[in-house]
Amino acid sequence: MNKILIMCDDLRIGGIQRLALDQSYELNRMGILTTVLSLSAESHSTTVSFDWLEKDLIEDLAVKLEFFPGSRFEQFLSLRKLFKNNDYIYVVGHTLRGSSLAWLLRFLFRYKFILITTIHQLPSLSAPVQRVKRYIYSQFSDQLLIFSKIAKIDWDNRRSRNPFIWLISNRKKVEVCRNGVYLNRLPTVENEIGLQPKLAQRLIYIGRLTSWKGLDTFLALAQMPALKGLKILMITPSDPKSYLRNIDRDLLSRIEYQTGKSVTQLNFSVGDIHIYPANPGAIQPRNYVEGVSINVLEMACLGIPSLITKGGSETWSELLELGMIKEVDWSDLESIAHYIKEDFRVPTIEAVRKSRALIDIGKNLNLILNLTR
């Protein structure tokens, strides 16, 4: 029977880990035996991680997990043993370090698998030495993918501006492969969508408690006079109490928060609207616009529209046309608040169905597997 190995650095809560597990869920549902390999130690009940939060789903879908912590030499030996005992047809890397180890083992021991790697970080985010290493490691794959058009532009611009990087990365060009979501793990919206043009009822924030994720912007928007009647749901990996202790008391009374849970474990309602004001600022390259995250894709599959940064929909323009995402200027909170209060409408059932068909993780996997045929 066909086997596939999916590699990532760890299984903490994050977009890369989310994608890796969703790919494994769909592959196993299709009858392809899939192993997810983490290059970090196994999590425990006190750790906020997907391998713990989705333990039951992982077991139900018979996804095999492997954990190879330790030095690179120890990981090399463990991976050698794994390859020796399994005939993988594909190795899908969400880690350049893991992909380079897989390539080296294939080169030394003549394994027959096809190696596919997805780039998840912009070159401009890396220090110069690390950036060069990323370009070198990327060339070991048979197929090299990247998650968005904007990220590909950054990748190609770095190559065109640096002759050395262009030279060392000339063997493999990067191609865009959009992310996806395993639909069967998602909860359903409580009420029927589209029966009436229901107005916004609740503001949703999903993400870490960091400034570049836009939490300050989210809280500032929630305090706009036009939105003071709306409830707030915050979904964060860690407890936000210390972060929220100095905010306005009236605002605090409107907030419900869920800590250390994935979207899979939560219930959403018609009238929810997801606010995604991620603003990487100085840590990102100039003119970079944060695009459509996996959380935004998950919300669209549930019939919950998202507000994203202006210019961020290029990779998912269909969702903009369907009304599942709307681009906004976060410097103009008054206009955003007016839209939410006066113009927001729940999307139609047809828009949600079309969105789910676009976002289905099967499309992501079909593109990956077809690339190498």
Domains of the chain, CATH where assigned: 3-182+361-371 (3.40.50.2000), 187-358 (3.40.50.2000)
Query: CA quadruple 366, 367, 372, 373: dihedral positive or negative?
Result: positive
Give, for 146, the enclosing helix (H) or strand (E): strand 143-146
Q: How long, in residues, is the chain?
A: 373
DSSP helix/strand/coil, 204? strand
Angle between helices 349-359 and 294-301 (to 10 degrees): 140
The two three-digit tokens of residue 237, written as one number? 């990996």
Q: Which residues of 229-253 are buried (b: 16+ CB within 10 A; e: fewer)?
A: ebbbbbbbbeebeebbeeeeeeeee
Strand 3-8 and strand 33-38: the pairing is: parallel
Per-residue tens of pLDDT for the chain, all 373 residues: 689 999 999 999 899 999 999 999 999 999 999 999 999 999 876 678 999 999 999 999 999 999 999 999 999 999 999 999 999 999 999 999 999 999 999 999 999 999 999 999 888 878 888 899 899 999 999 999 999 998 999 999 999 999 999 999 988 889 999 999 999 999 776 555 655 557 899 999 998 877 677 889 999 999 999 999 999 999 988 888 888 888 888 999 999 999 888 888 888 888 899 999 987 554 455 566 788 999 999 999 999 999 999 999 999 999 999 999 999 999 999 999 999 999 998 888 899 999 999 999 999 999 898 744 4
Give, for 36, the enclosing helix (H) or strand (E): strand 33-38
